[in-house]
Amino acid sequence: MSSRLAGRRALVTGASRGIGAATAVRLAAEGADVAITARTLDAHPSLPGSLTETAERARVHGGAVAVVTADMADASDRVRIVPEAVDALGGPIDILVNNAAAAMYADLAAFPLKRRHLIFEINLHGPVDLAQAVIPSMRERGEGWIVNLSSATAKLVDGPPFHLGFTGATTGVYGASKAALNRLTNALAAELWGTGIRVNTVEPRAAVLTEGADALVGDRLRPEMIEPMETMVEAVLALCDCPVERTGGIHVSLDLIAELKGR
């Protein structure tokens, strides 16, 4: 087992499958004690993966692993995530990875308000709530790492004419939630500058074919449109122990990895 993150406690959301699960296992492999949270404890009705499976994979590396089952869409539910993770791991959180996200694509002209609320609740308010919950103890210790996972859909589309790709404009609400997350990441980093707390976002350059993405758009993705899971996890890891000067950034996975390798 690597000792890169030995002595640190990490909390990873959306860790029942996909990038969250892979990140949690990687942080455990690097020596961190890890708390994982999601709704799916043992089984999902249509997608593979669960918190139980992720915990089993993470425990192989010998560190402490805590499981907190919670619904990130419910503010009254997620308020207990950080306290339960702290109690289970025996100390405050050093690394927060906000990975959990709701991705629903539809034409904006008829996008239901209920779904818009859900997307912003999970993709924006959830990460901010958890960040607010871990910041006091990070500030006390003079260091901490908050990593928010974003998306290329946050970027504006050039036009007219507009070249939208196979999803058309259906990613507008999802992308808007990620654009808001980017802006608040940058603002929080600026606010916390000088405290030792680093706050960054990272997004894949191409699609990461997680279980959810595969079910959503997998049949329309060509090989050149897909990024390996490992590259995204490597980029997240790099921001989980980055120096104090790297904060407030909106990073692209492969670009960040290339930059770090070029040092």
Please confirm, yes or no, whether 105 is among the known catalytic residues: no
What stretch of H or E contains 126? Answer: helix 126-141
φ and ψ at residue 46, rounded to 5 degrees: -135, -15
Q: In this structure, what is the dihedral angle of CA atoms 217, 223, 224, 225, given to the nearest 10 degrees? A: 10
SS percent in the chain: helix, strand, coil, step 5: 45, 15, 40
What stretch of H or E contains 258? Answer: helix 253-261
User: Rounded to whole angstroms, how far apart are CA atoms 127 and 96?
Assistant: 9
Q: Which of 11, 123, 174, 176 is catalytic?
A: 174
User: Rounded to whole angstroms, how far apart are CA atoms 153 and 162?
Assistant: 14
Residue type, position 257, single letter: I
Residues known to be catalytic: 174
